Amino acid sequence: MSSATPVPTPAWRPLIHFTPRQHWINDPNGLVQVGKVYHLFYQHNPQGTEHANMSWGHATSRDLLRWQEHDVALPGREAHAIFSGSAVVDTHNTSGLRQRGDASPPVVALYTGAGHSWQAQYLAYSRDDGETWHFGPDHPVLDEGRADFRDPKVFWHGPSEQWVGAVVYPDERQVALYGSPNLHVWTSLSVFGPAGEAGGIWEVPDLFALPDETGREHWVLKVDVFAGGPQGGTGAQYFVGDFDGAVFTPHGPARWADYGKDFYAAITWSGTPGRCLWTAWQSSWDYATRLPTHPWRGALTLARELGLRRGPDGELWLTQVPLRELENLRDHHLPLHLTPDTPATLPLAPDHAFDLSLSLTPQTVLTVRVTSAAGDELALRADLAHGTLTLERPARGTLAEVPGFGGTHTAPLPLTQGGGLDLRLVLDTSSAELFAGGGLLALSDLYFPEAVPELLHLAVESGEATGQAWTLRGAGGEPGA
């Protein structure tokens, strides 16, 4: 008995978020800047919209918004599937993979090879700035004989003069750290965890340095959880602490990197001087395989600029804001001043995304509603009087059959004593990314409108809000050099 051919859903195709032309996508992999070009790799099934035939898809951009999709970089092998990993530019050729006559240093990827009952870390490389790729030796470069051992995130640690790799032991809820002089031979450094949320398996670790507001450097360890997230199901937690080249020591509690339902497997970009960025898969394993998009299934979040700042409790918190290049897509502009007597209703253009930035006075209660002919498609409420943020997304039509999709997601607002709050909301055709308190809070949710959204309604029940709104041009394809 054959199933009906899926109907294309172009109205749900994001305008400013990355999706492949067709087929399945999940975790971002190998995020690396080579010269002026950003290389995005990602878990990809080049044959269909299910999680199968895992390979590394490949796209490039010069602004992290307009992408050119390429042929699959690392296709699944007969011996193993190509699971998640990372890539670095081996500037000093520690790997020995640069050959005489090469115009630039090699770009080296470490990825998890997944067999039927085992996982180990393998090497691949490019000698032409990430354009074409070659598999390294047939044997793994890091193998502990484990059934589950995956997601290597590699970076150069200058003080200890070595490559450091963070790899996860999923079932043990641990992140194992390894060191290497050459990306081929790895030795164990330490093991972190269990800690924080450990109800579900751990996946996709990352370890990176960030300065605080005074310029002092700290380290952030991020690891995803398969269960126990802030809205149930998957989520991403992080710890702030120190790293001495061998051991990561947290100095505070675990916190959620994102309070939405659709933020998973975030990893930082390698080779981005002067800034720290990451990108995540914008979905949840609770329903990722059931999403009704066609001919693609899955998307990535916008790249986000990362920082560290003291939160309301005086501890260091991770901050996230949309990449600054997003401002280059701003089109029509509208200033806003909202009071209980002056709500606003803005038209939503079907071929544009939307960027809303507001500053709320203390005790303000704000509502933002996206509506279509079918009614409310998304409803946001920021209640500074009670310190809560809620986002409701209905599950009508085909989404009504997707368990766990519809509902209300709640997050605590990062309020200071007697202070107001800034709020930024980026709406695309099928996603909402919200940032509050200078990025101390992030919340990412998919939503699939039953009908084309037509209006954005803004109102305050108390207090006031001022700011501005912009329509955003679709990112389209790769810009010129």
Decide: 7 and 294 in contact? Cβ < 8 Å: yes
Q: What Cα–Cα distance (Å) separates residue 338 from each residue in 123, 140, 271, 345?
A: 55, 59, 42, 11
Which residue in the list 27, 224, 355, 445 is annotated as catalytic? 27
Q: Which residues, in sequence order, are bridge partners of residue 346?
A: 456
Buried b (16+ CB within 10 A) or exposed e, 107-117: bbbbbbbbeee
Per the annotation, the verdict on 27 as an active-site residue is: yes
Given a contact cutoff of 8 angstroms between Cβ atoms, the answer to whether 176 and 167 are in contact is yes
Using omega within 30 degrees of 0 as the cis cutoff, is the peptide bond preceding 194 cis?
A: yes
Bridge-based pairing of strands 150-157 and 134-135 is unpaired
Catalytic residues: 27
